[in-house]
Structure 1
Amino acid sequence: MIFINSIEILELQKYSVTEIDRSLIRKQKRKLFADIDLSDNGMLDYKGIYLTKTDCETAIEDLENSDYVEFYLYLANNNHLFNDFLVNGDESFFTKFSQESIYKLPDFVNFISPYFAPRFDKALLNAFTEFKSESVNSRLKIIGILQTQMLIQPTDINVAFKNLSVAITSRISQIEKIAQEIKKETTNYDDKNIDEIEDLVKDLFPSGFLNALPKYFQSQINKIAAAINQLQLAIWDTFNKAMVCRQLLGHLLSLNIESVGKQTFENNYKTVKQADERRKHIDKLHNILNSFESKAKTIANARELIYQAKPYLFNIKAITKETDITYIGLSIRVAFDAQNFVIEEVNKEQSSDNLSLQRLLGFQALKIVLKNAWEVTQLIGSLDLQNDFRINRYNPNKETLQNICNQLNVPTPQLDFGKIPLYSFVILDGEITHTDKDSKPLPITNSFIKKDVRYIGLNLKVEVFEYQSVKFHLKYIQPDGTLKTGTSSPEGFSFSNDTVIILNSVDI
């Protein structure tokens, strides 16, 4: 519906409502039609819109209603921005919008709504197609448009939201089609480019825009969420890409969803998040293993490999909540490499090139190597190992090492390193803390003074899956390499600490 301000085309802006009567209207209409007849194309150029006599006649009929005369005068003289928006869609009206008392008049809203609703619809659609999530101006634009909704009467709501609703439906269909193509393996997406789909989904369904929309669009927002969920399920089944699924579900949950499926979406997100985190820990462990391939095959490096690997093995086990084949395979790989390092150094120390010197020195160097080898071998045994590996490789090598130790009178005590426990949290980071008696952090470089009391502790950053009670055993190794213990120290440790870990804890 074209908006034509009759007051403007008749040039009645300078008159008051009471002055504008039928006589004045007829006079100005004759003048208007005469100008049209004299024009080159027989039409009136009204703000870039060409009007016929019939168009003008229809618009002028509105002046039979005195209320309409008042409204047209208001727009022509007091609200040029609104008037121009209605005529040609100039969106300066939104950016410079200010609340007017006349907007609260039901008669004015009834008068203006049929013209305003289709213009509003077009502006809203443009804002959607041009929306950039990172742009502040995009966000301000949608806010500016939506704050004018009071100018739309209920009977015109469908008109005001029509084209945006159609555009959203089309985008939902686009995602549903992609999901079906992935399921049927007829898609152009593959392992190399499937991660690009996250940007597509975010561009199609910008949460900053959709979350600003009124309740009218709630049903469609729920359908968007369902479509994205089906897409990530297809990707999970076809490509097993936990990271992509996690990103899609994360975006889905950033939408204002009100549906019974929300709990399902949240559960799906929890599942893929854990799978993604597990993959990251596996990748990091692979990187550690690969980095040790170029290092010297020494007992010290075997110990270091295990110490670096254990936190990741702990996390993988915690996320999976079981010792699955992937976890056991990684654990065996760590044990295999570490045991090879131990064997390499022990064999080197027993080689013929070193034997004469060893006899001369009473085999002292070899004894030290064997002592360390025995300790690290038992450390290897604390890993979760498949029975076949433990029986056919680990145990025979351990027995051989023990026999060599017995021949040289090297003690072989049974050391308790403890198995990797199964808990419902992962360790994201850790740091040694250095505080005073009031738990105030102190610089590590602070010199120690006998009269001062300093406390050294351990702070772990964690992600918790469920409530649980945990007993931590800690070791303080003194500068001379011995374990610091007290009268209440548990066997093999400096002290223990019982901690209750609640859901959403981040530090322990």
Structure 2
Amino acid sequence: MSFLNIFDLAQHYGISKLETSSLIKAKRRILAEIELDDDEVEIRNQTFSKSDVLNLFYEIDKNENILSFHKTIFQNQNLNTFLYGDSSTIPTKAFHDPLGRTSTDFTSYISPFFAKQFGNLYKNAFEEGNIEVLKFNPPISAHFLEDIYSPILKKLEDLKNDLTLSNVESKINNSVIEKLNALPQYFMKSRSDIALRVRSLSVDAWNKKEDLDLAFKILDLAFKLDVNSSTKQKLDEDEKGLKDLEQKQKENEKLEGFIELMNKAEEIKKYSANPSQIYNSLAPKILKIDLSKAKEFLQIMLIEDAKQKAHSRTDYQNLQIILNIEKMDNDFVKNSIVEHLEKMAESCRNVHSQYSIAEKFDDLAYEFKNGYKRVRSKPKPKAEPISSYENSSIASSDAWSRSFLGLGNLYRFYFICI
């Protein structure tokens, strides 16, 4: 069904005034003119038959409001030309009947004509990223809107289903986000569903990859989408959860170097160990160690171990051990860490003959102890290698002292307490 405005028809045939009272006279004149033109008339580059014109007059005869509707459209040339198929300029003004009626009847009348022209335009606008068109929310009947919007809804559903952890950042980029947010309220649910899918990928980034930075980055994409309140609440909850994880991760970093040091101090004694790899893993973490947290961690471990072995000692001995462990201060932990690093340097020299790595461990111990880097004036003399680290003076003679996380020489404090 093509749109034909009776005022365009009247203007074409030189009828300057068109009112309800003069409609019958105008109809006779127009039909007579069309018969002279082989029952066809060209209006705005479209050809209409005599039958088309008769149908138009028939509709107006049935509903006198249609004449005023056509006048309203004719006075809005953007709208008028658009209904004829010119999509170069879309009408952006609300379609109100100037006669004071509600727009319901006018909307019902204009909807099929508008939907025909707007459907293809809207589909192309989404592909091309025409934000002005995407934002436009025409006041036409709901079932016509469904026809216009259904192809876009299908595209959004496909987009949501195609999202993966590896492609979400490329598929939900800034231009796509701008297009999605430009869509009218009608698309709120689809937009929120996409945000929830992005949210689930943010969860995967942490659960499957333990990549907190990536999880935050993906969740931020979901926050950029205009979503409903329930979805926003879920995003807020996830953000809080990630921030809690981030805080715990930062706290763990303060202890991570200490725990790794204890493990690596035992590992580096073995001929099969890789001192360079151990140093490269350990060095960035050592200076982040929080002595208070390391002390608390060590006290908990020592007290727990002391309780497990309490049956082999008197009550007095057990009490003294617990009291002395509780007296442990940060300086003891600091000195013990320095001692471990120095022992690891000795392992590099004596077990592995890797003197450059040994110097790096010595320098790391110096920096941790003093708070600034060592400036070396001359290389340290090489030590004579020995046959076995286990037989050297720096090895612990008691197997218990290496039983938990390789805590090694830090457990010497435990025996001193007895």
Report the TM range for the smaller structure's normalisation.
0.5 to 0.7
Question: How far apart, in 1, do the equivalents of 2:342 and 2:406 lie?
Answer: 17
Give 1:253's match in structure 2, choosing from 199, 212, 223.
223
The amino acid of 2:369's aligned partner reads V
Alpha carbons of 1:21 and 1:257: their partners in 2 closer, same or farther (altered >3 Å)? closer
Give 2:109's match in structure 1, choosing from 105, 108, 111.
111
Task: Tell me the residue number matched to 1:200.
Answer: 171
**Unpaired segments of 5 or more residues in structure 1?**
38-42, 133-137, 180-188, 315-322, 324-331, 349-368, 379-385, 400-508
Kept after mapping to 1: 8 A contact 2:18/2:26 = no
Question: How far apart, in 2, do the equivalents of 1:57 and 1:376 lie?
Answer: 100
Kept after mapping to 2: 8 A contact 1:339/1:377 = no
Kept after mapping to 2: 8 A contact 1:44/1:52 = yes
Q: Shift of residue 72 of structure 1?
A: 2.0
1:66-108 CA deviation, whole Å, 9 max, x = no partner?
43223323433x221110111114352446x478662963343
Task: After TM superposition, list the pairs within 5 Å mapping 1:448-463 onto structure 2.
Answer: none
Kept after mapping to 2: 8 A contact 1:81/1:90 = no
Alpha carbons of 1:283 and 1:373: their partners in 2 closer, same or farther (altered >3 Å)? closer
Task: Tell me the residue number matched to 2:126.
Answer: 128
Give 2:147's match in structure 1, choosing from 138, 143, 162.
162
The amino acid of 2:6's aligned partner reads S
Question: How far apart, in 1, do the equivalents of 2:42 and 2:339 lie?
Answer: 88
Kept after mapping to 1: 8 A contact 2:2/2:84 = yes
Identify the structure with bigger relative contact order (alpha carbons < 8 Å, sequence gap 6+).
2
- How many correspondences in the alignment? 303
Task: Tell me the residue number matched to 2:5.
Answer: 5
Structure 1 or 2: larger helix share?
2
Task: Tell me the residue number matched to 1:228.
Answer: 198
Task: After TM superposition, list the pairs within 5 Å mapping 1:50-61 onto structure 2.
Answer: 50-61=47-58
Alpha carbons of 1:163 and 1:82: their partners in 2 closer, same or farther (altered >3 Å)? closer
Alpha carbons of 1:79 and 1:254: their partners in 2 closer, same or farther (altered >3 Å)? same
Alpha carbons of 1:392 and 1:4: their partners in 2 closer, same or farther (altered >3 Å)? same
Give 1:63's match in structure 2, choosing from 60, 64, 70.
60
Check if 1:102 corresponds to 2:98.
yes
Task: Tell me the residue number matched to 2:369.
Answer: 376
**Unpaired segments of 5 or more residues in structure 2?**
261-274, 294-300, 302-332, 350-361, 372-401
Q: Give the TM-score, by structure 2 length.
A: 0.54
The amino acid of 2:156's aligned partner reads R
Check if 1:35 corresponds to 2:37.
yes
The amino acid of 1:173's aligned partner reads D
Alpha carbons of 1:198 and 1:374: their partners in 2 closer, same or farther (altered >3 Å)? closer
Question: How far apart, in 2, do the equivalents of 1:284 and 1:224 lie?
Answer: 38
Q: Shift of residue 122 of structure 1?
A: 4.5
Alpha carbons of 1:99 and 1:254: their partners in 2 closer, same or farther (altered >3 Å)? same
The amino acid of 1:130's aligned partner reads E
Q: Shift of residue 28 of structure 1?
A: 1.2
Task: After TM superposition, list the pairs within 5 Å mapping 1:183-222 onto structure 2.
Answer: 194=166, 196-202=167-173, 206=177, 209-210=180-181, 213-214=184-185, 216-222=186-192
1:315-368 CA deviation, whole Å, 9 max, x = no partner?
xxxxxxxx9xxxxxxxx9xx97995369869x99xxxxxxxxxxxxxxxxxxxx
Alpha carbons of 1:268 and 1:8: their partners in 2 closer, same or farther (altered >3 Å)? same
Alpha carbons of 1:126 and 1:30: their partners in 2 closer, same or farther (altered >3 Å)? same
Structure 1 or 2: larger strand share?
1
1:247-282 CA deviation, whole Å, 9 max, x = no partner?
333232343433655544433333345557878999
1:391-423 CA deviation, whole Å, 9 max, x = no partner?
325567x99xxxxxxxxxxxxxxxxxxxxxxxx
Task: Tell me the residue number matched to 1:417.
Answer: none
Q: Give the TM-score, by structure 1 length.
A: 0.46
Task: After TM superposition, list the pairs within 5 Å mapping 1:21-420 onto structure 2.
Answer: 21-36=23-38, 44-64=41-61, 65-76=63-74, 78-94=75-91, 97=93, 102=98, 105-106=101-102, 107-131=105-129, 138=131, 140-143=132-135, 145-146=136-137, 148-149=138-139, 152=140, 156-178=141-163, 194=166, 196-202=167-173, 206=177, 209-210=180-181, 213-214=184-185, 216-233=186-203, 236=206, 238-258=208-228, 260=230, 262-272=232-242, 306=286, 308-310=287-289, 339-340=340-341, 376=369, 388=404, 391-394=407-410
Alpha carbons of 1:249 and 1:374: their partners in 2 closer, same or farther (altered >3 Å)? closer
Kept after mapping to 1: 8 A contact 2:122/2:133 = no
The amino acid of 1:27's aligned partner reads R
Larger C-alpha radius of gyration, 1 or 2? 2
Aligned Cα root-mean-square deviation (Å): 5.2
Question: How far apart, in 2, do the equivalents of 1:131 and 1:35 lie?
Answer: 44
